[in-house]
């Protein structure tokens, strides 16, 4: 049971699973021990099974939308991570029996449970309640001039309460909705940047792990850029560190797709791991962003200064622009500016907000003989 929420582009990314109001959760456990343990614990908790077959290690539970969350929490507490990954789950409407027609809907048990618990996220995506906040990226000249804005994913509850990205990304990962969330966030960022009439660079985060084939999966995003009048050279797609896939050739294909169409690419969180360094020569990005943990208090820590300085020097030799993230203190800004970073981003200049700022307060501290 699925439904389109984005037309055009990839069917996987643009389709949302439907979780019925009254559902039956079918579970097939990987080994008989797991089956017996779960059946016994559910019985002890007073939860009745709609079906129980020891021969096939199959359990079925009748769930209402209001009671699904507590049952999901209990099952996750009973089973180990390996059992959740090794088991299989299927969510059907109450009274519907599994058949070969449902084969494609069977998922790892972890995902089936995640989808039962992700009703709030599915509603956000169906009702288009994602929004974009902006944080400026500032030139290191100290005069407060802007180079760009990073587009940051946010959402709103039905009552208007703001939702930060962490819970959405965690729920999407559990429910195998990363593809859908990533596509919706990219498209919302493009729409928001166009609506704000930004003439600076526009940095848009994306998850490489949420893209099967760039020629197909990214088509709706790049088409929207053209439709709304943004210039390709104005848009920088930013690779999220935590979501970089192990398949370097796949990531290289995504970067090549963007760059061949006139877009630019940034690598996020440089200095957070060795894998980041290896990606520089493979991908040749247009920007690297120094990790906020590396930049925070860099003026006070000699080891951080050595690492950050080496990254800035390397990027300069390769003609890659550097952005120092997480700037909160004037002395850190002064150090990265004097050391040769090109741009900075952080609370010292502006916090993220629903409207892009057009200027920030000039900051003194960068010397007049900054390194080129």
Query: What span, in angstroms and rounded, lies between the C-alpha atoms of 57 and 112?
Result: 17
Same domain assignment for residues 198 and 312 = yes
How many Cα atoms sit within 13 Å of 290 on the Cβ side?
36
Report the CATH number at residue 209.
Answer: 3.20.20.450
In this prediction, residue 370 carries a pLDDT of 43
Residues 6+ apart with CB under 8 A from 105: 1, 17, 90, 91
Same domain assignment for residues 108 and 154 = no
In this prediction, residue 5 carries a pLDDT of 59
How is residue 120 written in tokens?
């709030």
Contact 299, 327 (CB under 8 A): no
Same domain assignment for residues 206 and 162 = yes
Report the CATH number at residue 105.
Answer: 3.30.70.260
Give domain status of residue 5, yes or no.
no
Same domain assignment for residues 150 and 51 = no
- For the chain, the domain total comes to 2
Residue among 162, 160, 56, 176 nearest 116 (CA):
176
Give domain status of residue 361, yes or no.
no
Same domain assignment for residues 266 and 146 = yes
Max CA-CA distance within the chain?
Answer: 77
Domain termination residue (choose one: 117, 152, 171)? 117
Same domain assignment for residues 97 and 146 = no
Spell out the per-residue pLDDT of the chain, length 372, in tens: 455 555 555 566 778 887 788 899 999 999 999 999 999 999 999 998 999 999 999 999 998 766 788 999 999 999 999 999 999 999 999 889 999 999 989 999 999 999 999 989 999 999 999 999 999 999 999 898 999 999 999 999 999 999 999 999 999 999 999 989 999 999 999 999 999 999 999 999 988 877 777 777 788 888 999 999 999 999 999 987 555 556 788 888 889 999 999 999 999 876 555 456 777 888 899 999 999 999 999 999 999 999 999 999 999 999 999 999 999 999 999 999 999 999 999 999 999 999 999 889 887 654 434 443
Same domain assignment for residues 105 and 162 = no
Give residue-wise pLDDT tens across range 177-202: 998 999 999 999 999 999 999 999 99
Give domain status of residue 357, yes or no.
no
Same domain assignment for residues 107 and 194 = no
Domain termination residue (choose one: 88, 117, 146)? 117
Same domain assignment for residues 218 and 322 = yes
Give domain status of residue 365, yes or no.
no
Domain that holds residue 97: 20-117
Domain termination residue (choose one: 91, 117, 143)? 117
Contact 137, 348 (CB under 8 A): no
In this prediction, residue 201 carries a pLDDT of 98
In this prediction, residue 337 carries a pLDDT of 96
Give domain status of residue 234, yes or no.
yes
Give domain status of residue 184, yes or no.
yes
């Amino acid at each position: 049971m699925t439904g389109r929420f984005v037309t055009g582009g990839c069917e996987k990314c643009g389709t949302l699973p439907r979780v019925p109001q009254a559902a039956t959760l079918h579970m097939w456990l990987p080994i008989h021990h797991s089956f017996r343990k779960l059946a016994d614990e559910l019985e002890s908790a007073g939860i009745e099974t709609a079906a129980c077959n020891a021969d096939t290690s199959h359990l079925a539970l009748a769930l209402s939308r209001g009671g699904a969350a507590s049952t999901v929490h209990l099952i996750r507490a009973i089973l180990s991570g390996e059992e959740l990954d090794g088991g299989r789950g299927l969510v059907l409407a109450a009274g519907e029996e599994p058949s070969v027609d449902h084969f494609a809907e069977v998922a790892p048990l972890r995902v089936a449970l995640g989808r039962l618990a992700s009703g709030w996220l599915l509603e956000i995506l169906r009702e288009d309640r994602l929004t974009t906040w902006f944080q400026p990226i500032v030139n290191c000249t100290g005069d407060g001039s802007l180079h760009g804005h990073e587009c940051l994913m946010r959402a709103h509850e039905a009552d208007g309460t703001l939702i930060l990205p962490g819970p959405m990304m965690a729920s999407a990962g559990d429910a195998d909705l990363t593809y859908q969330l990533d596509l919706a966030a990219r498209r919302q960022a493009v729409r928001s940047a166009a609506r704000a009439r930004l003439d600076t660079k526009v940095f848009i985060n994306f998850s490489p792990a949420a893209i099967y084939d760039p020629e197909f999966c990214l088509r709706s995003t790049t088409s929207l850029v053209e439709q709304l009048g943004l210039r390709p050279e104005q848009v920088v797609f930013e690779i999220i560190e935590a979501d970089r896939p192990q398949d370097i050739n796949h990531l290289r294909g995504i970067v090549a797709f963007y760059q061949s169409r006139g877009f630019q690419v940034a690598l996020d969180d440089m200095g957070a791991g060795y894998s980041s360094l290896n990606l520089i020569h493979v991908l040749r990005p247009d920007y690297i962003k120094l990790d906020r943990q590396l930049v925070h208090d860099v003026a006070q820590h000699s080891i951080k200064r050595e690492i950050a300085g080496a990254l800035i020097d390397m990027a300069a030799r390769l003609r890659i622009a550097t952005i120092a993230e997480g700037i909160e203190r004037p002395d850190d800004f002064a150090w990265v500016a004097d050391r040769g970073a090109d741009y900075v981003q952080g609370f010292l200049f502006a916090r993220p907000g629903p409207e892009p700022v057009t200027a920030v307060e000039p900051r003194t501290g960068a010397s007049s003989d900054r390194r080129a």
